[in-house]
Structure 1
């Protein structure tokens, strides 16, 4: 195992790329040697064969591993290899757990064996903008095209797991008997809830009506906060 492979693994586990890692390093360690995006890119692409200690040390510190381990140990499955905790004065980022689960924007996706896959790094300004707390959030992948005017197949969808009361006009991740779905809810006068598909092709992606007596079959996992390309 080498630094190139370990850094690739740690970035993937944390939902990062060379650009976001470089930004996080600069904010967390402003007094240390700057590690630009181009340097990280050259390391993970194998262009730089023997990275300098000054480049690797901040990366090792960020992921909470030793420099020696980053250079030579197989860090896959290494429990300590998570971005280090930091207070607001040190760094303005926080992490969201993301999962191997897929929320169907279609007919339903089964996720019985879904497990945490890593962490998605966001600046604290993101949480302030949307009025959410990182510990309440989770990210899953969208699967399908029923929400395609807004959420497309492969997008990563962030949900607030504390928002589980249905609201008309809002998008939710819903545990449906047929699997996990991402749908917009609409309540009709008679109490029926409609799981709306935003794709205009209603023949392929029809809305689904849940009558009042069957509402108990649905479990809201969380309300939509944000989407980003997968």
Structure 2
């Protein structure tokens, strides 16, 4: 059968995964029999990849689940309340093994929120390219560094900490710390998808007991990216 874009994308991601995998291992990682993905790609069975399988496969491949959506290429670009734009990240001065990750001059509030108004334009942070790709499992073009402002995520994150966010990881599964716009401002919070909620709802949680947890529907928030690393001045 002629492969569509989704099936070609899965084959490409499987072929380039590090550590290596194959369709058999990926099928088993999704909780299916070893031939499941082979049949899906080459025989068209099932016709549509179920949502739970898509999320499990995305976790196995280390990508956001949206990358595996069948209609991804047909969807219009979603307008986000931010001004992040891709930029060349290779550091020509530092050699091929060094990657520049730009610091964006905005603050993600860990308290009451902060609006995304300022343009990118901070300093660059330089990291070993192998460490970014293999340790953090991140594509350099998707990375930004921003500052935390507020105390609601203490002691995990403190005001003034620098955090690296991966803009490609916007699915709140598995749970983790994300930077999001919750309808009021830009915040850094623990996100967890509430099981069996319809429409899907998120639990938005602070680390500090001084702040109340709250809920939003998935459509009410704009998840900017997942926090994957932080730095703190001692």
**Counterpart in the other structure of 1:118:** 123
Q: For residues 72-221 of structure 1, what are the structure 2 equivalents within 5 Å?
A: 84-85=91-92, 90-127=95-132, 128-189=134-195, 190=197, 191-199=200-208, 201=209, 204-210=210-216, 212=217, 215-221=218-224
Relative contact order higher in (CA < 8 Å, ≥ 6 apart) = 1
Q: Shift of the alpha carbon at 1:94? A: 0.9
What is the CA RMSD across the aligned residues, in angstroms? 2.2
Q: For residues 8-19 of structure 1, what are the structure 2 equivalents within 5 Å?
A: none
1:105-130 CA deviation, whole Å, 9 max, x = no partner? 11211221243212111122430211
Instruction: Could you tell me which runs of 5 or more consecutive residues in structure 1 were left unpaired when the two chains were aligned.
Output: 1-81
TM score, norm. by length of structure 2: 0.55
Aligned residues: 141
TM score, norm. by length of structure 1: 0.56
Q: Shift of the alpha carbon at 1:188? A: 2.2
Q: Is the 8 A contact 2:90 2:98 kept in 1?
A: no
Question: What is the rounded CA distance, in whole Å, between the counterparts of 1:198 and 1:209 in structure 2?
Answer: 15
The structure with more radius of gyration: 1
Q: Shift of the alpha carbon at 1:91? A: 4.8
Question: What is the rounded CA distance, in whole Å, between the counterparts of 1:126 and 1:229 in structure 2?
Answer: 19
Secondary structure of the residue aligned to 2:188 is strand
**Counterpart in the other structure of 1:67:** none
Question: What is the rounded CA distance, in whole Å, between the counterparts of 2:166 and 2:155 in structure 1?
Answer: 22
Q: Shift of the alpha carbon at 1:208? A: 1.4
Q: Is the 8 A contact 2:146 2:162 kept in 1?
A: yes
Q: Please, which of 220, 225, 229 is the counterpart of residue 228 of structure 2?
A: 225
Q: Shift of the alpha carbon at 1:209? A: 1.1
